Amino acid sequence: MEIVVVIAAVVLALAAAGTIYRIAAGPSLLDRVIAADVLLAIFGAALAMEMALTRHTDNLALLVVISVIGFIGSVTVARFVAHRKEEA
């Protein structure tokens, strides 16, 4: 079980590194928004994995909050991008 968790954690860390590179590299604002959304999903997966490993449910509320924040964030940025370009 521990070996599986270590492997999964390494895989998640690689995935997080990839998304962070995409956030840094862009090329556009919307690419960064999508990558940030995926990074939040990876955080959620890590929180759930920690819950499964130590057998508690403390992080469940955090998971819901994370999905709310990701939703509000990307919708807000999407609206903002649309308005800026229409004025230009």
Partner 1 sequence: MDALLDVLTAICLLGGALMSLAAAIGLLRFPDLMSRMHAATKPQVLGLFLMLAAVGLQLRAWSLVPLLLVAWLFQLLTVPVSAHMVGRAGYRTKHRRPELLSTDELHDVVAAVVEDRDEA
Q: What residue ranges bind partner 1 (CB under 8 A)?
A: 1, 4-5, 7-9, 11-12, 14-19, 21-22, 28, 30-31, 33-35, 37-38, 41-42, 44-45, 48-49, 51-53, 55, 57, 60, 63-64, 67-68, 70-71, 74-75, 77-79, 81-82, 85-86
**Rounded to the nearest whole angstrom, what is the least distance from the CB of residue 36 to partner 1 in the complex?**
10
In the complex, the smallest distance separating the C-beta of residue 43 from partner 1, rounded to whole angstroms, is 10
| Residues in contact with 7: Cβ distance below 8 Å, sequence separation at least 6, in sequence order | none
Q: Phi first, then psi: what are they for 72, rounded to 5°?
A: -60, -40
Look at residues 57, 62, 49 and name the one whose alpha carbon lies nearest to residue 6: 49
The residue to which tokens 């940025």 are assigned: 77
Cβ 84 to partner 1, closest distance in Å? Answer: 8
Q: Which residue has the tokens 């130590």?
A: 54
